[in-house]
Structure 1
Amino acid sequence: MARARVALLLGVLVLAGCSSSPAADPDGPDRSGAPAAGAPLPHSEVAPLVQAQTRRALADLPTTRLAPGLLPPTNKWFSGLVFGDEPQPVFPLPLAFTIDARSFGFGLPQVVTSADAIVGSHQRDVSVTAQGSTRQRVSAYDDASVTMQARDAAGATLGRTTVAEGSPYVTHRAARREVLRTSVPFTGSGATRTATTPTGTYAVRLDDATVRGRRIALAKGGSAVFFPVPAGRSPGELARRAVPLTGAATTWSVAADTVTTSVRYRTAGGARTAYGVLPHQRGSLTGDSSCTLGSFPTVLGELTLCEGTGPTWTAPRQDARAGLDLSGLDGEQRDEIASQVRADLAASADLPADSYFGGKALYRLSQLLALADEVGADDAAADAAAALTTALRTWTEPQGCARRVERCFVYDPQWKGVVGQAPAFGSETFNDHHFHYGYFLYAAGVLGLHDPDVVDDLRPVMTLLAADVAGGSDTGLSPRLRVFDSWASHSWASGTSPFADGNNQESSSEAVTAWAGLRLWADAAGDDLLARQATWLMSSEAAAARAYWTGFDTDQPIYDGFAHGVVGIGWGGKRDHATWFSAEPTAVLGIQVIPMSPSSDYLAADPDRVIANVEAATRAGGYADQLGDYVLMYSALGGCDAAHDALTKARTLPDDAIDDGNSRSYLLAFLVARRC
């Protein structure tokens, strides 16, 4: 839910990532990934920093359906199951899934495309009631799966239901003798039965169970694995792979030109299963996956079913850069940029006090510093560095919030994370943390590369910001990868996701910027493992941003009737050409490219698409509309002529059309550097 010189030389060795580990005891409070060997930001590093930080809750934790011992799972695709008075639908594609106190239900989203939205439904094609259940709570979760526990009035566990992103299966396992009642009768004989619903055929594979009409009786340890049957396919194809699902784990690696992600589904006995892959995964699958089991439509495009233990796919590697490469500028151009940097520094207003606009202002100041360094304006560089150092030292006082109510961070012991004072856009309920903290990390990384002596002063709080959004394991003080969805390859922005359409993310580009900032800070701080993880996060997020926000394949059937080449907000169950803050077309595109950082190369992959996106966004009002300055910068990625035209327009762009996180000097430098 967003609003709105040094090229790093990175290693070329294959660098392995880490995975989450589920707890062994299914009755215990499984964590979202036990601390993994070699994970960045481990408990031993984070715990003393938390102890030194001001502790305060800025917002009450809402009602939760969560087993004791689990960290609140904010910013997850399934957060709507956990928080609030009533559980919300979630979207473990290809399915939609819901719970209430007595039952769970699932269905195939019926996808409807209109001019401004692609929407998937969340109806219950099949409802399953656990006899005697009075409440359900989340008892385990990991990188891609979540398990609900049905309990009776005495608190005894009746059974557990597990769903996972990419899995077509809903697994229910009985903790004792249990009776389920289904909304539709499953008929047939043998271990696999089928049912007909208005949206198609469903099947269930049973183990240690008997069926009579709508009643399924499970022995202790017995299971019922439900699944939809792809159109035109036999139930037996998926039934043979319908083994109970117990969880999932992610591993990653970074190589010279690509990053690799693997999701492995944990099944009873380690058996192979069926799983789905989305467009961003399908084109770069590696390994021995056989993808011939059919498909389902989703709001993201066709989900293709494969057989194996889980998908492994690659994405192009993206590298973070502290500043623009201005090595090709001539003397006159350097003088122009130097003069403009001085003017922008002189005109800088007081820095905002909240964690979003305050972070943007620090990022803006860091780019003025980088520009001054690059063009040899030593006086301006000294002024920018002094201002940035003072501001960052203020924000990173561990006990700053004990003395003031703004420009500081607290550790919230209820929510298990770090919150900036003053909060903004619901950040006290953990909305948008990666957007906010990405700017801080970027600014601290640029400053740390300019002046390594300041790094140790910033390190304690910057480490906590990094751990809040990108910790490598569940430390008990902060979660593993709070905002990042390994299977979907992108982040989620809402903390509690109180929406019937699932969680959402608006600013895909600020998410990429967050991981670029994390990489720069990791390099300045000398944390090689965190730097590698940041490269994986940045590269994965950039690939998803292109695939689902700014560069999707409009020839796919899902886009028939969709009138735009850009999506403004991506949800679990829909995609909108809209923003939270403006209906202007420049805002819809602008929020997908802000802040056009030096690490925005991924946006230049398709110059023709850039030109088309810009033409559509500026047709009504031009570049003076909201976030139009970023759209103008983005337009320069359309080729030599586009860059030349953008520079001409930038010279006459009104001052009030330049965003508060941008500056005229950075705008001009970006465009001069792109001009052929």
Structure 2
Amino acid sequence: MSRGSACLAAAVVGAALLTACTTVDAPPPPPSAGAGVADAAPPSVDPSVLPSVDRGGGAMRLADGLAPPTNRWFSGLVFGDAAQPVFPLPLAVGLTASGFAYGLPTVRADGSVLSGSYAPQVQMDLREPVTGVVVAYDAATVTVDLVAGDETVRGRLHLTRGSPVLTYTATTDQDLGLGVAFSAGAAGLPDDVVTAELDERTHALVGAGDLDVADALAGTSLALTAGQTVSWLVAPDPGEGPDGLAELVEATRDPVTGSEVHHETSPEEATTSVTYATVSGGPAVVVRWPHQQQTADAAESCARGTYATVRGTAEVCLTSTLSWRSPVREPAPGLDLSGLDDDERDALADQVRTDAAAVLGDVRPADTYFGGKALARDANLWTLAVELGLDGVAADLHESVAADLRTWAQPDGCVERPERCFTWEPTLRTVVGQATSFGSEEGNDHHFHYGYFLYAAGVAAADDPDLVRDLAPVLDLLAADVAAVSDVPVPDGPPMPGLRVLDVVMGHSWASGQAPFADGNNQESASEAVSAWHGLALWADARVGAGLDDGGLTEQARWMLALEAASARAYWTDFDTSDPATDGLEASVTSLVWDGKRERATWFSAEPSAALGIVVLPVTGVSGYLGEDPDRVRANLGEALGTDDLWEDRSTWDVMFGDQLLMYAAMLGPADAEAALEVARDLPDERIDDGSTRSWLLAWLRAHAG
């Protein structure tokens, strides 16, 4: 079904701030346009070069013409038999059979789990069955129509990512049931605002424009006419703001209508800005997250109170634009081996010859995850061979990697063979490897998988323009699938969504394509997400080196790399353990991050080392971001290995991801890198990850030992 609005402004590169309607109180839905990143035009792509294979994506609660929002924080609203709760945060929201509900999650620590699950506190009843249909979305807002059985839209729910405000517009005359009693007369608030005290927290119900909510309220029933808008604001813990809750209530009268993203990078930092449009142009009530602490105007705009969340303590701000800075991570193919002496180079060269013989004598996997990892592994091995002057070995490795990349990048490959090729999935508007893995046919983990391909191509084709041109039609599609800056028009249907996996507000990606979970979406291997944008940057550089127009991809990739690395530290490996919101959490690493919880756990193993290893791998030249707090590195390793003395017993490292953890330990400094070298030489072969080699392990450690 398709719903339109006569009040939408024109889009800029697929998304723009909205021009407010001045004749009604209702905020219009924003256009669906990916992340709404302005002033960018990525390389053009054509999915029709791939064979189309419909894998049965299932019914979607989504308006016609919109890009299917896989890998979003709100994907659970769209996919699956029934809508899942979603977490705009700090609120959690759920659709019901006859309306919607919200609650402010109570954050609790239980061992290695920090939970803040959905628990409805206020339920709104339309008094008839309705189905929620997503009709618009952008970087920070989602609009859901509540559709009755006769196809009439009864109301419109508007969610804003990172806001304690929930907005609803009646599209027919109605008496909306509130579920709990609200009343006027709260101290310090205007008479037309009603409140309820729930769990020792004030919930304010505010009308937009000149709507007097107190006058429209009769018991637990709110009389609304078509076009009228109300918003619920859950009060924060007290802050330092001059007017407290009253100031936030006044801002809530001016509902958010949409958002837009801008970014820019310098050699030192990347700046991200999310601008919130409101009906009347006033500031929005939003929160500042731990990864956004480098905020330009925090002193002026924030300090309006706080919320305890599973991400840590979030500070309330009144602002139209929230901007923050993240350290830039410059792409780094290969390793610097200039510090090795002749004996060390000879020993490493012997290992490279051994590993090259092994990988060249084997067949790489046929699925996109393990196949991509193997290509990235062998591209790294090639860089070592080049650096060590092993011309014959280097030539054989490059020929092998290039040949496999060309096989994967053959547009009609899936017409000729059953694997090592890509197809176009027309329902989800996504690219899928013919041999699937980890639910890739549902949109799962595409940035992990395709990041390895982009990395391998960016490394192997850096000085090979012919290889770049041969790979570009399909490699550009892989890049667009996970990172197109705005919606990509596709013939015969909706577009590919822009920034499919990146949650710009939270600064990190989401791995589940359809998020069929009550705790929202999730991402486990934040380090593989960082690796994906590292690969994107290297591929962008290779394209430029081959004389191809990158359309801003070079800068965009560095922005995404900076953003993801900062959030990986803020929520996975280096979060503030002294934050009161995490009080009681018995984990130094939370390896599985959801909107409704964070936990030290993995999807695949209960081994303690797995929880750290999965957020370290793959170790590449850009992985230094993980080692910027040596004390935390040591604490994380102690937790993963179950010891405070890392080097007392070499068998300590005979664990899953032992090689990755040794490389992580080398970030502690030269002495620890030397100790890691002693262990690494005898580490059992089965402890070398399939995305790495002993050569890479030893080279990394030797480079860090000095």
Query: Does TM, normalized by the shorter one, top 0.5?
Result: yes
Q: 2:14, 2:275 → 1: CA distance?
A: 10
Listed as ranges, the matches of 1:59-458 within 5 Å are 59-132=55-128, 134-188=130-184, 190-198=191-199, 200-207=201-208, 208=211, 210-232=216-238, 235-242=245-252, 243-286=254-297, 289-348=300-359, 349-458=362-471
Contact persistence 2:18–2:277 (CA under 8 A):
no
Structure 1 residues 644 and 245: alpha-carbon distance in aligned structure 2, compared to 1, 3 A threshold? same
Contact persistence 2:269–2:325 (CA under 8 A):
yes
Q: 1:440, 1:235 → 2: CA distance?
A: 51
Q: 1:356, 1:447 → 2: CA distance?
A: 18
Q: 2:642, 2:307 → 1: CA distance?
A: 36
Q: 1:330, 1:19 → 2: CA distance?
A: 54
Query: Secondary structure of 2:272's match?
Result: strand
Q: CA deviation at 1:609?
A: 1.3
State the partner residue of 1:663. Answer: 693
Query: Which of residues 513, 516, 521 is equivalent to 1:495?
Result: 513
Q: CA deviation at 1:145?
A: 1.2
Name which of structure 1's ranges 333-342 and 357-366 shifts more when overlaid on structure 2.
333-342
Tell me the number of residue pairs that the alignment of Structure 1 and Structure 2 aligns: 655
Q: 2:130, 2:319 → 1: CA distance?
A: 37
Structure 1 residues 368 and 232: alpha-carbon distance in aligned structure 2, compared to 1, 3 A threshold? closer
Contact persistence 2:670–2:705 (CA under 8 A):
yes
User: 1:543 is matched by which residue type in structure 2?
Assistant: A
Listed as ranges, the matches of 1:536-615 within 5 Å are 536-615=559-638
Q: 1:487, 1:35 → 2: CA distance?
A: 12
User: 2:53 is matched by which residue type in structure 1?
Assistant: R
Q: 2:287, 2:516 → 1: CA distance?
A: 26
Q: 1:605, 1:671 → 2: CA distance?
A: 17
Q: CA deviation at 1:166?
A: 1.1
Q: CA deviation at 1:642?
A: 0.8
Q: 1:40, 1:288 → 2: CA distance?
A: 35
User: 2:347 is matched by which residue type in structure 1?
Assistant: E
Query: Secondary structure of 1:638's match?
Result: coil
Q: CA deviation at 1:645?
A: 0.4
CA-to-partner distance for each residue in 1:391-422, whole Å, 9 max, x for gaps? 10110000001111110000111110100121
Name which of structure 1's ranges 616-625 and 222-231 shifts more when overlaid on structure 2.
616-625
CA-to-partner distance for each residue in 1:512-544, whole Å, 9 max, x for gaps? 000000000011011261011000000010000
State the partner residue of 1:32. Answer: 33
Q: CA deviation at 1:213?
A: 1.4
Contact persistence 1:139–1:149 (CA under 8 A):
yes
Contact persistence 1:355–1:436 (CA under 8 A):
yes
Structure 1 residues 564 and 427: alpha-carbon distance in aligned structure 2, compared to 1, 3 A threshold? same
Q: CA deviation at 1:230?
A: 2.0
Contact persistence 1:101–1:136 (CA under 8 A):
no
Contact persistence 1:522–1:528 (CA under 8 A):
no
Q: Does residue 636 in structure 1 map to residue 689 in structure 2?
A: no
Extract unaligned runs of 5+ from structure 2: 1-11, 22-26, 186-190, 490-494, 545-549, 644-650
Q: 2:117, 2:477 → 1: CA distance?
A: 39
Query: Secondary structure of 1:340's match?
Result: helix
Name which of structure 1's ranges 500-509 and 239-248 shifts more when overlaid on structure 2.
239-248
Q: CA deviation at 1:22?
A: 6.1
Q: Does residue 21 in structure 1 map to residue 13 in structure 2?
A: no
Q: 1:219, 1:472 → 2: CA distance?
A: 39
User: 2:526 is matched by which residue type in structure 1?
Assistant: S
CA-to-partner distance for each residue in 1:181-239, whole Å, 9 max, x for gaps? 10111111632110122352211111435111111112222111101112457542321
Q: 1:631, 1:40 → 2: CA distance?
A: 39
Q: 1:325, 1:20 → 2: CA distance?
A: 42
Q: 1:571, 1:289 → 2: CA distance?
A: 31
Contact persistence 2:206–2:230 (CA under 8 A):
yes
User: 1:424 is matched by which residue type in structure 2?
Assistant: S
User: 1:30 is matched by which residue type in structure 2?
Assistant: P
State the partner residue of 1:518. Answer: 536
CA-to-partner distance for each residue in 1:134-157, whole Å, 9 max, x for gaps? 222111111111111112232122
Query: Secondary structure of 2:496's match?
Result: coil
Contact persistence 1:484–1:491 (CA under 8 A):
yes
Query: Secondary structure of 1:92's match?
Result: coil
Q: 1:293, 1:284 → 2: CA distance?
A: 15
Q: 1:79, 1:669 → 2: CA distance?
A: 42
Q: 1:147, 1:459 → 2: CA distance?
A: 36
TM-score normalised by structure 1 residue count: 0.94
Q: 1:551, 1:543 → 2: CA distance?
A: 10
Q: CA deviation at 1:653?
A: 0.7
Q: CA deviation at 1:33?
A: 4.0
Identical residues among aligned pairs (%): 45
Name which of structure 1's ranges 148-157 and 624-633 shifts more when overlaid on structure 2.
148-157
Query: Secondary structure of 2:315's match?
Result: strand
State the partner residue of 1:616. Answer: 639
Contact persistence 1:323–1:370 (CA under 8 A):
yes
CA-to-partner distance for each residue in 1:339-398, whole Å, 9 max, x for gaps? 211111111221000000000000001001111111111111101100001110110000
User: 1:31 is matched by which residue type in structure 2?
Assistant: S
Extract unaligned runs of 5+ from structure 1: 1-16
State the partner residue of 1:41. Answer: 42
Structure 1 residues 434 and 34: alpha-carbon distance in aligned structure 2, compared to 1, 3 A threshold? closer
Q: CA deviation at 1:426?
A: 0.2
Structure 1 residues 88 and 21: alpha-carbon distance in aligned structure 2, compared to 1, 3 A threshold? same
Query: Secondary structure of 1:674's match?
Result: helix
Q: 1:102, 1:586 → 2: CA distance?
A: 46
Query: Secondary structure of 1:280's match?
Result: helix
User: 2:501 is matched by which residue type in structure 1?
Assistant: V
Q: 1:637, 1:236 → 2: CA distance?
A: 49
Query: Secondary structure of 2:65's match?
Result: coil
What is the aligned-residue RMSD (CA, Å)?
2.0
Query: Secondary structure of 2:348's match?
Result: helix
Q: 2:103, 2:658 → 1: CA distance?
A: 41
State the partner residue of 1:626. Answer: 656
Q: 2:38, 2:527 → 1: CA distance?
A: 31
Query: Secondary structure of 2:667's match?
Result: helix
